[in-house]
Amino acid sequence: MSIVSRRFLLQSGLSALALAGGVAAIAPMAHAQGIGIIIVPAEPPRTRYEYIPPPPYHRREVLVWDPGHWHWDGRGWVWIAGHYVERPRHEAIWVPGHWASYPDGWHWTPGGWH
């Protein structure tokens, strides 16, 4: 079974669980990727403005800003402040996590290196 098929089956099952219980469902997405997906019934609040402090001068080549985001804790929205993450290799590009709307609710895709 392909990863796309597994993801669809997992999302379908999580969607039914989330809608039946009215709460967020958290489970592994693609097992090989080791990441999770969060599905919530409500749209996250607007993103907060954040002051981005300059990185330490001697580490500015290896640090990338990961912006803050709203996190669903199972009962409500909690703000997770932005922070610097260390680049694993020079050519790596950080793609921030994001919320996206789907028919079964709002899905969180975690950030990661590409």
pLDDT of residue 86: 96
Where does residue 38 rank: exposed (0-12), middle (13-18), buried (19+ CB within 10 A)?
buried
Half-sphere exposure of 45 (CA within 13 A, CB side): 12
Domain containing 81 equals 3-113
CB 111, CB 67: distance < 8 Å: no
Q: What is the pLDDT of residue 35?
A: 53
Task: Tell me the C-alpha distance between 114 and 110, whole Å.
Answer: 12
pLDDT at 38: 85
Long-range contacts (CB closer than 8 Å, 24 or more residues apart) made by 86-90: 86/62, 87/61, 87/62, 87/63, 87/113, 88/113
Mean pLDDT of 60-83: 95
Q: How many domains does the chain have?
A: 1
